Structure 1
């Protein structure tokens, strides 16, 4: 009994120990200067850990740039470093910049947020649906509450291939795109739709009579001084653009986009500062747009549910809203193939954070930086950080317990074989052998399928914990398979068998 109590105590310690550990790379502090120092000191190591080539980071305070840091490489082969004027793709952050262009049309009286989108477009039409198409408004498209389908993840098109037209993309003709369809009642719930921003892109072109990228440059980018930004990969940006890399640090093409409003913006850390500061200033009545316009942009529309709800609380116009204490955080992520980006701002205080990376693993780095900045500003962990800690601790605890179990089985098996208490089974009955072979195949196949499910899911939090947990489970399953083909000898007592074959 005493031995069992000790074993149970040890297992309890192993199971709970990971929950008391700090799984963060960055120290949690409420001192902004200490946070910046920590980021300066640890970023290179974090980039190496997550296999991310480079990053550019900016911290804002009181509506001004407090610090910019550039780390790693824009081009690994050329050994060129990330600089402040290095151009990155910022993927879905394009939607936030597009929203400024749409709201400018609202201020100029050219469109109304609550008009049906069909009032403004003639080049393409949605297929008939059981839901009312007239309920699809500009406001609904900006806030992902229109009921439209995602429209594809928009992976982009290789530079040597001809881009489809915007109409073809909306119809699902083109690499990676799917038809944009009305799947739900407009305004009923939040559902992220890049396809909705394709319609906004078309609307802008039809209302203004200009190509989308030219209008956004004329009305948004140039007035804000975003000289190294464009929705088209122009010649003046090409030499400054970083190279994109996958999770193994292998070079990716510079994928291009016809879906510019949804995913096509090229920009720099310096220009992103100008964009965020312009929104902060406008919020206070001294910026690019009128205060009422920006405050309407930042007004929540609907709650974000599901896993996304751990990242953002509510959706707004071209932005997402999180609530902390009595403040709001206005934010958006961006993720194209080879690029991950993020910005957050607290418009009341003018504090903000921008992170740009040129690697597919950039999400892990972004999450760490954003969580640390969130704690510095508000003194509490954000919801995603709490989820991340729980998932990591649970995965570590389960992995440790399963490894300990497997180690115990291995030790007992080795001991039993050395003492000739176990032996390999000789099957005289072919049916029994067939059954055990089938069981072995099922067990190994099951572990393989488990890896295909668990690794991607847990990989959303951390790139390694899924692999660790699956490895521990696979090890235990292999031992179970081994036990199918051995049997006890006459030397093995029933009491001893309980400890050996388990």
Structure 2
């Protein structure tokens, strides 16, 4: 009976320890903001200090308050860059792709809750045990359509190496490591969140079929041009003419940006100034030439959750509560070898941040995460995920210590009983 009580005590100790570690991670205990609340220039200076210490390539930074850019800085280990220098921004382009999709919804050309097969004739999902009619436009945007590819594209060396959209959807030759490249329906549509690059490649195909234009032409006409984003494109060849930033590797060497079939998922080219225009167009009271306010509100409504937290809207990540009944929204991007980009936006205030980088795989995400914590006191979802392995290590170390103490107490109890029961 005594051992049962002791075991219960140590189980409770492990549970309490685990809860404490999780709470510390979730609430940012032990982590302080890089600047005092409200001191914008101090935050920008702190962000520049972080970038100067960590960057091995390029960094283009913009800080936005009430829809207006108020601070910026530009760093490079090579050719000089500025706010008009074009970067490939990887998955951050999904946010803008979602605007293209929602423009078609507003025009009545597609329905959010219609099967994507209604609009696509050039390719269809392979047959599976699940009903493909549940693969709707809304679910593709929110990564809840049941596609289990988890792509991840690594791109091609030259434009000539690229596959067609249809062939890429069947089996992407540039699938990221450990992915088979097949876009398939592997779980019940609507049952879970599962990040899917294939979902956005399928949306890219849908846009082309519905609009009758190439994806890059449609996005230029319907999103970029109305917003004045004249140095933003999904056309790689055009981006080269605009003037690209150098694509640095972590070791400081450079290589050309790679070519992609999956443009919507991973190959937008843009600048920090153009992304500032995109964010500013969403500020309270701003004139938006692309989407209605009610559509932008729908985009940031929760459509997917993980570990009990709302994490995804329609094409945007829900990073953290803004403490005003809404979310800090945006998107990050990462492409090989070391492209990392991030944009965050608070729809209640019009405040935001843009960080574009090459040469470091997490620098932009880390700086943007610091901005969320500085603005709200909340840990954003990507910061939480990046710190989770360290938290699990701390938890495991604590469990080992608890078990060692338990073993020591049990051994001492056994030794004392043995001594008492010994004759003489």
Instruction: Work out whether 1:182 is the aligned partner of 2:158.
Output: no
Question: Residues 123, 27 of structure 1: CA spacing in aligned structure 2 closer, same or farther, 3 A cutoff?
Answer: same
Structure possessing the higher relative contact order (Cα contacts under 8 Å, 6 or more residues apart): 2
Deviations along 1:256-294, one digit per CA (max 9) or x if unpaired, are 111111111000111111111223358x67553111111
Query: Which residue does 1:224 correspond to in 2?
Result: 227
Question: Residues 188, 285 of structure 1: CA spacing in aligned structure 2 closer, same or farther, 3 A cutoff?
Answer: farther
Distance 1:191 1:383 in 2: 15
Distance 1:292 1:160 in 2: 39
Question: Residues 179, 23 of structure 1: CA spacing in aligned structure 2 closer, same or farther, 3 A cutoff?
Answer: same
Query: Which residue does 2:97 correspond to in 1?
Result: 98
Deviations along 1:6-55, one digit per CA (max 9) or x if unpaired, are xxxxxxxxxxxxx9xx99897242122211122234431221xxxx3010
Question: Residues 253, 388 of structure 1: CA spacing in aligned structure 2 closer, same or farther, 3 A cutoff?
Answer: closer
Distance 1:388 1:144 in 2: 20
Supply the RMSD in Å over aligned alpha carbons: 2.9
3-state DSSP of counterpart to 2:121: coil
3-state DSSP of counterpart to 1:153: coil
Instruction: Work out whether 1:317 is the aligned partner of 2:319.
Output: no
8 A contact 1:24–1:368 mirrored in 2: no
8 A contact 1:26–1:38 mirrored in 2: no
Extract unaligned runs of 5+ from structure 2. 1-23, 398-424
8 A contact 1:374–1:381 mirrored in 2: yes
Deviations along 1:389-444, one digit per CA (max 9) or x if unpaired, are 68658869999xxxxxxxxxxxxxxxxxxxxxxxxxxxxxxxxxxxxxxxxxxxxx
Query: Which residue does 1:497 correspond to in 2?
Result: none
Query: Which residue does 1:29 correspond to in 2?
Result: 36
Question: Residues 380, 291 of structure 1: CA spacing in aligned structure 2 closer, same or farther, 3 A cutoff?
Answer: closer
Q: Which of 52, 57, 70 matches 1:44?
A: 52
Question: Residues 118, 24 of structure 1: CA spacing in aligned structure 2 closer, same or farther, 3 A cutoff?
Answer: same
Instruction: Work out whether 1:294 is the aligned partner of 2:293.
Output: no
Query: Which residue does 1:376 correspond to in 2?
Result: 374
Query: Which residue does 1:110 correspond to in 2?
Result: 109
Matched ranges for 1:120-159 at <5 A: 120-150=119-149, 152-159=151-158
Question: Residues 379, 238 of structure 1: CA spacing in aligned structure 2 closer, same or farther, 3 A cutoff?
Answer: same
Distance 2:311 2:157 in 1: 34
Question: Residues 349, 174 of structure 1: CA spacing in aligned structure 2 closer, same or farther, 3 A cutoff?
Answer: same
8 A contact 1:87–1:240 mirrored in 2: yes
TM-score (norm 1): 0.67
Question: Residues 398, 252 of structure 1: CA spacing in aligned structure 2 closer, same or farther, 3 A cutoff?
Answer: farther
Structure (1 or 2) with the larger CA radius of gyration: 1
Distance 1:123 1:397 in 2: 50
Query: Which residue does 2:264 correspond to in 1?
Result: 261
Distance 1:82 1:142 in 2: 33
Shift of 1:151: 5.6
Query: Which residue does 1:251 correspond to in 2?
Result: 254
Query: Which residue does 1:67 correspond to in 2?
Result: 71
Question: Residues 381, 106 of structure 1: CA spacing in aligned structure 2 closer, same or farther, 3 A cutoff?
Answer: closer
Question: Residues 253, 33 of structure 1: CA spacing in aligned structure 2 closer, same or farther, 3 A cutoff?
Answer: closer
Shift of 1:187: 0.6
8 A contact 1:156–1:256 mirrored in 2: yes
Query: Which residue does 1:341 correspond to in 2?
Result: 341
Query: Which residue does 1:446 correspond to in 2?
Result: none
3-state DSSP of counterpart to 1:218: helix
Distance 2:388 2:118 in 1: 48
8 A contact 1:26–1:39 mirrored in 2: no
Distance 2:131 2:284 in 1: 38
3-state DSSP of counterpart to 2:236: coil
Distance 1:81 1:295 in 2: 38
8 A contact 1:94–1:261 mirrored in 2: yes
> Structure 1 residue runs of 4+, over 4 Å off?
22-26, 284-287, 380-399
Extract unaligned runs of 5+ from structure 1. 1-18, 400-502
8 A contact 1:189–1:302 mirrored in 2: yes
Distance 1:383 1:97 in 2: 20
**Residues 235-244 or 28-37, more deviating:** 235-244
